C-alpha cells in the first residue's frame, strides 16, 4: 500500500510541475510580440487547451495498474504523463491509449498477456485501498467488480459522472469502435449508453484530434435538464470544444421547449412537409387578379397577369432560391413596363433604331421605378421577400394558405409565432429554400470592399504558412476563414471560443455529432442534423422501446438508410448498471405489455428494498407527496416526483428522460398510461429512473402490470 501511495503522490507532484510550466508559457505567449499574429494565436490556444487538460486531473488522476506476464507494469489514469528526463517514458497511461485497453477488456478467459489488474480507491490525492484481480485465479474473480459496484451503489450527485475507472468490456468495445460513419448504440434503461457515447467522443478526440478539434463536436439531447446532467462528463475528461443543444435550439437564437399534440407533431415531422413548404413558397409567387397601374413619366402602364406570369416562369426557371430569384422577377416586370412606357412616350419621335436614346430613356424610367411606392408595393404583393418565420406564421394562421399548400388542416393555429419544437426543422429547412434576405442598398458594396481587402490578407497568410500544409491533416488560413469572416474581424476581433462560435452559426458544420434519445427524432429532425455534419460521422444513442413521440423512429434503418446507406452499424448494451433488479422486475412487466419482443436489460445488482405502492384518495394525495419529499430531503442523494400534468411538485416522464435519481415517486400511473398513445412507454421511463428506492401513489386501481408492487403497509420498514 505504501509503495502505491508513494507512486501516486509522485504523479501528483509531476502534475503540479506540468501545470506550473504550462501556466508560465501561457502567460509568456500572451505578452509575446514576436512572430505573426496567427502564430501567436495558435500558440496561445494550444497552451490554453493544455491548461484545461491538466486542470481536470485532480480527481482520480490514477485509478489502476496493469501487470503484464512479462513483469512490466503500467499505471492507468485520466490523462497521460511522461518522464521528460528519461526519453519521455510514460509514467501514467491515458485511459484512451491502446496500451491501456486491457485494463478494461482482460478477463480470466482472455487475459491478453496480463497477469493482474489492480483498481485503486482514492480519496482526494491519496490511495486509501485497492482490489486485485489476478487472471487465472478463480477465487479472485469476484474482486473485479468491486470498483464497479461501489460506483453504481454510490448516491447520485447533481450531474452524470464519467466512468473512466469502471468501463466494462462491453462498453469499451463501443467506445473504441473506429467506424467512420454512423454508430448506433441501443440499450435499455441504465445500460450507460449515454455515458458510453460521451466517452467515445473523448476517445475520438484523442485519436483524431487534428481533424476534429477545428470543427468541434455537437451533442444533441432531449431537454435542458438532460444536457445539464451530462454536461460535466466531457470537461471532466479534458474536452471542451463541444456544443450542447436540444432539438429546440438547432436554429441559432431559438430556445424552444413547447411541444405540439401528437397528431400535429407527427404531421410536421413527416418528409411530406417538404412538399408543403415548397407549395407554400410557390403560393406566395402570385399573379395580380386585376392589372396594377404604375405611373411612369407622363403615362400609366400596368402589371397584368400575363406579364407577371412570364416573369414568374423565368424566375422559377433560374434555379435561384425564392428571395434571390426575386431580382429576375423584378427585372422582367421592369423590362415590360419600360418597353410599354417608351413606346407611348416616344410614339412620334423615338424609334428602336435610335438605340442610344432608347436606352437612355429606359435607364431614366428604371430609376423612376426603383423609387416608385406603387411599384415596390406591387412587387411585394406578387413576389415578397420572405423569412422562414414570416412564411410559416402566415401559413399556420391562414386556412386558405394551408389548403393551397396541401397541408393538413390540423396545422391551423391562432398564434402563428407560437413556435414548438416541431417547427424548428421547418424553420431550418426554409433557410435553404428561401435564400438570404437582401441587405439595404449600399451595405453589399461596403462588405464586398472589405471582403476584397481581407482576401488579400488571406493570400499573404497562405504564403507565410505554406510550410504547414499537409494534404489531409492541416488546414490553411483560408480553410478556417472566408474573406468575409476575416473582414468582420477588422471591426472587432472575435474572442469567443469554438463552442460559442459554433452554437451561434447556423452554417457551422461539426466533425462529429452525438444524438441522444434519438428514437424521439422525426424525419424532418434528421434533415437538420445531417446538414450539421457533412462528413456523416455520428454516434446515435437511443432505445426504440422508450419512444414517446408519434413522429419518432420505429426502426434505425428507416431513419438512417436514406442518408448513410451501408455506412451505419448497430451495437447494443445489455447490462443495466443503474436500476436494481427489484425495480427492473416491475418495469419489465410494463415493457412486456407494449413491447413484448424487447428483452429488458439484466441488472447487475439488487438494492434490498422492494418497490411499494399506496392507494390514497384525492384529499390525501398532496400530504403523501409532501411526506415523500420530506423523508428524502433528509437522505443522501437525489429524488424526484414524476406524474401526469397537473400534479403539484411532479415533473413529467419526458422531463426525466436520461436522468437518474436515488429515489423516485411515481404518482397516478393510471393517468400516465391514459395521457397519450405512448403512455406505456412514458410509464416505463418513469419507473426506471430510480437507483435505490421506488414508490407509487395511486387513486384508481393500479394497472395490471403494477399489481405485483408491495402495498405500503408491508413495505413500510424497507421504505423508511
Numbered residues of the known binding site for ATP: 187-194
Other C-beta atoms closer than 10 Å to the C-beta of 477 total 17
Contact residues for 507 (Cβ-Cβ < 8 A; gap 6+): none
Contact residues for 267 (Cβ-Cβ < 8 A; gap 6+): 273, 408, 410, 411
Under 8 Å between Cβ of 14 and 91: yes
Q: How many helices (H) and strands (E) does the chain have?
A: 29, 21
Distance CA(433)–CA(420), nearest Å, equals: 20
Distance CA(234)–CA(201), nearest Å, equals: 8
Burial 341-370 (b: 16+ CB within 10 A, else e): bbeebeeeeeeeeeeeebeebbeebeebbe
> Which helix (H) or strand (E) segment is 329 a member of?
helix 322-345
In sequence order, what DSSP letters do the residues of 673-714 get, joined into one string? HHHSTTHHHHHHHHHTTEEEEEEEEESSPPPGGGTTSEEHHH
Distance CA(272)–CA(709), nearest Å, equals: 45
Distance CA(605)–CA(581), nearest Å, equals: 6
**637, exposed or middle or buried, with CB in 10 Å at 0-12, 13-18, 19+?**
middle
The CA-to-CA distance between both ends of the chain, in Å, stands at 39
Rounded to 5 degrees, what are φ and ψ at 570?
-120, 135
Q: Is 339 helix (H, G, I), strand (E, B) or coil?
A: helix
Return contacts of 202-208, CB within 8 angstroms, 24+ apart.
202/96, 202/234, 202/237, 202/238, 202/239, 203/96, 203/175, 203/176, 204/512, 205/239, 205/241, 206/94, 206/96, 206/97, 207/96, 207/178, 208/511
Distance CA(569)–CA(560), nearest Å, equals: 10
Under 8 Å between Cβ of 551 and 169: no
- Which residues carry a binding-site annotation? 187-194
Closest among 303, 384, 306, 299 to 345, alpha carbons compared: 299
Distance CA(676)–CA(682), nearest Å, equals: 9
Distance CA(123)–CA(127), nearest Å, equals: 6
- CA atoms lying within 13 Å on the CB side of residue 286: 17
Amino acid at each position: 500500500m505504501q509503495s502505491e501511495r508513494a507512486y501516486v503522490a509522485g504523479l501528483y507532484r509531476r502534475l503540479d510541475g506540468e501545470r506550473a510550466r504550462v501556466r508560465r508559457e501561457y502567460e509568456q505567449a500572451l505578452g509575446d510580440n514576436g512572430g505573426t499574429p496567427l502564430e501567436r494565436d495558435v500558440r496561445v490556444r494550444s497552451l490554453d487547451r493544455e491548461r484545461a487538460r491538466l486542470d481536470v486531473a485532480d480527481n482520480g488522476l490514477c485509478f489502476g495498474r496493469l501487470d503484464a506476464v512479462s513483469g512490466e507494469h503500467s499505471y492507468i489514469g485520466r490523462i497521460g504523463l511522461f518522464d521528460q528526463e528519461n526519453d519521455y517514458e510514460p509514467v501514467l497511461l491515458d485511459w484512451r491509449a491502446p496500451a491501456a485497453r486491457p485494463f478494461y477488456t482482460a478477463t480470466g478467459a482472455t487475459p491478453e498477456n496480463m497477469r493482474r489488474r489492480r483498481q485503486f480507491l482514492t480519496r482526494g490525492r491519496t490511495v486509501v485501498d485497492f482490489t486485485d484481480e489476478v487472471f487465472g485465479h478463480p477465487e479472485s474473480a469476484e474482486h473485479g467488480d468491486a470498483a464497479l459496484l461501489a460506483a453504481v451503489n454510490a448516491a447520485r450527485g447533481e450531474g452524470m459522472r464519467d466512468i473512466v475507472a469502471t468501463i466494462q468490456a462491453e462498453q469499451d468495445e463501443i467506445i473504441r469502435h473506429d467506424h467512420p460513419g454512423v454508430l448506433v448504440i441501443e440499450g435499455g434503461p441504465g445500460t450507460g449508453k449515454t455515458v458510453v457515447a460521451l466517452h467515445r467522443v473523448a476517445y475520438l478526440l484523442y485519436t483524431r484530434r487534428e481533424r476534429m478539434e477545428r470543427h468541434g463536436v455537437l451533442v444533441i439531447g432531449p431537454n435542458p435538464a438532460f444536457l445539464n446532467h451530462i454536461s460535466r462528463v466531457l470537461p471532466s475528461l479534458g474536452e471542451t470544444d463541444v456544443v450542447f443543444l436540444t432539438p429546440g435550439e438547432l436554429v441559432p437564437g431559438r430556445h424552444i421547449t413547447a411541444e405540439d399534440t401528437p397528431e400535429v407533431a407527427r404531421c410536421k415531422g413527416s418528409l411530406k412537409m417538404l412538399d408543403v413548404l415548397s407549395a407554400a413558397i410557390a403560393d406566395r409567387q402570385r399573379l395580380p387578379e386585376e392589372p396594377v397601374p404604375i405611373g411612369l413619366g407622363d403615362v400609366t402602364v400596368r402589371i397584368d397577369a400575363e406579364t407577371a406570369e412570364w416573369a414568374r416562369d423565368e424566375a422559377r426557371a433560374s434555379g435561384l432560391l425564392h428571395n434571390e430569384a426575386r431580382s429576375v422577377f423584378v427585372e422582367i416586370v421592369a423590362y415590360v413596363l419600360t418597353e410599354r412606357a417608351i413606346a407611348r412616350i416616344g410614339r412620334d419621335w423615338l424609334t428602336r433604331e435610335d438605340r442610344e436614346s432608347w436606352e437612355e430613356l429606359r435607364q431614366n424610367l428604371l430609376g423612376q421605378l426603383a423609387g416608385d411606392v406603387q411599384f415596390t408595393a406591387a412587387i411585394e404583393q406578387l413576389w415578397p421577400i420572405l423569412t422562414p418565420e414570416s412564411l410559416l406564421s402566415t401559413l399556420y394562421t391562414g386556412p386558405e394558405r394551408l389548403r393551397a399548400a396541401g397541408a393538413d388542416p390540423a396545422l391551423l393555429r391562432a398564434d402563428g409565432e407560437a413556435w414548438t419544437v416541431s417547427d424548428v426543422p421547418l424553420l431550418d429547412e426554409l433557410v435553404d429554400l428561401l435564400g438570404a434576405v437582401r441587405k439595404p442598398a449600399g451595405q453589399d458594396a461596403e462588405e464586398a470592399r472589405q471582403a476584397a481587402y481581407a482576401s488579400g490578407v488571406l493570400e499573404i497568410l497562405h504564403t507565410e504558412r505554406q510550410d504547414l500544409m499537409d494534404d489531409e491533416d492541416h488546414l490553411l488560413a483560408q480553410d478556417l476563414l472566408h474573406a468575409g469572416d476575416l473582414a468582420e474581424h477588422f471591426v472587432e476581433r472575435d474572442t469567443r471560443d469554438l463552442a460559442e462560435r459554433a452554437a451561434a452559426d447556423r452554417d457551422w458544420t461539426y466533425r462529429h455529432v452525438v444524438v441522444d434519445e434519438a428514437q424521439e427524432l422525426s424525419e424532418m429532425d434528421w434533415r437538420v442534423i445531417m446538414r450539421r455534419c457533412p462528413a456523416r460521422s455520428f454516434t446515435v444513442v437511443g432505445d426504440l422501446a422508450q419512444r414517446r413521440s408519434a413522429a419518432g423512429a420505429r426502426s434505425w434503418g428507416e431513419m438512417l438508410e436514406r442518408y448513410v446507406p451501408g455506412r451505419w452499424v448497430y451495437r447494443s448494451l445489455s447490462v443495466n448498471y443503474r436500476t436494481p433488479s427489484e425495480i427492473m422486475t416491475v418495469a419489465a412487466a410494463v415493457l412486456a405489455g407494449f413491447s413484448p419482443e424487447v428483452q429488458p436489460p439484466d441488472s447487475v445488482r439488487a438494492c434490498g428494498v422492494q418497490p411499494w405502492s399506496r392507494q390514497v384518495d384525492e384529499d390525501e394525495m398532496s400530504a403523501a407527496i409532501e411526506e415523500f419529499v420530506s423523508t428524502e430531503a433528509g437522505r443522501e442523494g437525489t429524488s424526484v416526483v414524476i406524474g401526469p400534468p397537473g400534479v403539484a411538485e411532479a415533473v413529467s416522464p419526458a422531463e426525466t428522460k436520461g436522468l437518474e435519481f436515488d429515489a423516485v415517486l411515481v404518482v397516478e400511473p393510471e393517468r400516465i398510461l391514459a395521457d397519450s398513445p405512448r403512455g406505456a412507454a412514458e410509464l416505463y421511463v418513469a419507473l426506471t429512473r430510480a437507483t435505490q428506492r421506488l414508490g407509487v401513489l395511486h387513486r384508481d386501481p393500479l394497472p395490471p402490470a403494477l399489481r405485483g408492487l408491495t402495498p405500503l403497509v408491508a413495505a413500510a420498514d424497507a421504505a423508511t
